[in-house]
Amino acid sequence: MTSAAAFLNAVGKRLSAMSLYGAGHPSRDQAMDQVLEEMSMLLRENAFPVFNFLDGDVVYENCVMAELRQWEWSLRLAGVGVERLEISPGTSRSDLEAFLEEIHARLNLEDAGASVQEVSGQSSIRFGEVGIEGLSDLDPEPLTTATMEVNLREEAETIGWLHGEVMRTGEVPASEAVAVVKLLSLAMHSERDVVVPLVHLKQVDQYTTTHSINVSMLSMGLAEYLNFASVDVRAIGEAALLHDVGKTKIPLSVLNKPGKLTPDEWKLIQTHTTEGARILLASSGHMELAAIVAYEHHLDWQGEGYPEMTYPRQPHTASRLIQVCDIYDALRTRRPFRPPWPHDRAVEFIRSRSGEAMDPEFVDAFLSMIRQWEPRQIALDGESDPEDETRAEEAVDSSSVP
């Protein structure tokens, strides 16, 4: 067990002991001694450990802790407003005791349906909801907004590895896909307002990776904007992340071809929808929704497009939502065969296809959302690379945006 996991387990045991035994009971003191010991071990390895508690999982150092998947206390801590926990060097026993007493009080008040009063006092422990100002409820001084450094490099590397595993085994590593989406969600909420930091690719062979990240974040942002339940937001994010997984079956020489595709090459590109559905259905981890989206994301609002259907029908709600985000990012991204489109031009194209190729409900919501912020772009290597917006080509039909 890692020192981080050992520390959190000790915290959970101390909270349990506080519920079972009264003040001064030896079991409470022993549990407190264990928390202090594990914290000391943790601080030797990491002087500024930061934990995030999301949907029962623990994110530490931007990675989901496999040994604490669906950890009971992750859900309970998040439920009382502790989605993020930061510990600084010099944290004392009294700091730890004050923090645990506050959490214990919140848990008891939550059970009783009462409100929580903030506790004043000095502490080197900071905690609160992700993205709020004044992260610590134990520090009376105003603190800067708690944010994560958002660069998405690790997520992009994980997706690259994931695609490699699909090519090697024919299946999607479900747990890694879920972990990436949770980290993307955390990046979206790393500031006071929800943001979607879109990845700006530097090389054309990064397209599938960066497009997967961007469509996932745009889709989760749109689902949240429409007040979808959190579990549905996350499911949509996972489906969007994997919507193009069938492209792992397409040769790079075809995917990255700078010129016009031949009819045979275009037919090959179109197979990525059915191939993606097959891959996802063959994978473990309840990938049914992702399989539906992979199959349907190039079908328009009325069921036309590809793959050709004997009896056209309206695609799934998730497919229709993700399609809008998919087309926006595809147009905004540099491709081997064309430069990126300006934001205004991409928005106008989407507006022009509302009710014809795209679901008008999701188009209207997307355009309303996007008016509030033009998603900032992040180069994977950290360098800026301004788009050459003057070379944008003529509009193409949405069904031909691969």
Whether 331 and 256 map to the same domain: the answer is yes
161 assigned to some structural domain: yes
Mean confidence (pLDDT) of the chain:
78
Residue 54 has pLDDT above 70, yes or no: yes
Q: Are 181 and 192 a contacting pair, CB within 8 Å?
A: no
pLDDT at residue number 143: 27
Query: What's 214-249 look like in SS3?
Result: HHHHHHHHHHHHCCCCHHHHHHHHHHHHCCCHHHHH
**What are the strands, taking DSSP E only, across 157-286?**
198-200
Structural domains counted in the chain: 2
118 or 352: which leads in pLDDT: 352
User: Based on the domain organization, do 118 and 174 belong to the same domain?
Assistant: no
Average pLDDT over residues 316-327: 95
Examine the domain organization and report whether 277 and 393 are in the same domain: yes
The pLDDT tens digits for 239-253 are 999 999 999 899 888
Q: Does residue 137 belong to any structural domain of this protein?
A: no
pLDDT at 348: 94
pLDDT band at residue 177, thresholds of 50, 70 and 90?
Answer: confident
Q: Which amino acid is at 273?
A: T
> Which has more pLDDT, 375 or 14?
14
Residue 128 CA to residue 223 CA, distance in Å, equals: 24
Cβ(215)–Cβ(241) under 8 Å?
A: yes
Same domain, 249 and 323: yes
Output the six-digit token pair for 356. 């014809």
Average pLDDT of 221-244? 90
Decide if pLDDT at 359 tops 50.
yes
Do 295 and 329 lie in one domain? The reply is yes
Domain co-membership, 243 together with 304? yes
CATH of the domain at 189: 1.10.3210.10
Q: Does 148 fall in a domain?
A: no
Q: How many CB atoms lie within 10 A of CB 337?
A: 15
Q: Are residues 160 and 123 in the same domain?
A: no
Q: Domain of 111? A: 3-128
More confident residue, 399 or 28: 28
Determine, yes or no, domain membership for 42: yes
d(CA 213, CA 283): 20
Instruction: Tell me whether residue 52 is in a domain.
Output: yes
176 and 53 part of one domain: no
Compute the average pLDDT of residues 333-356.
Answer: 86
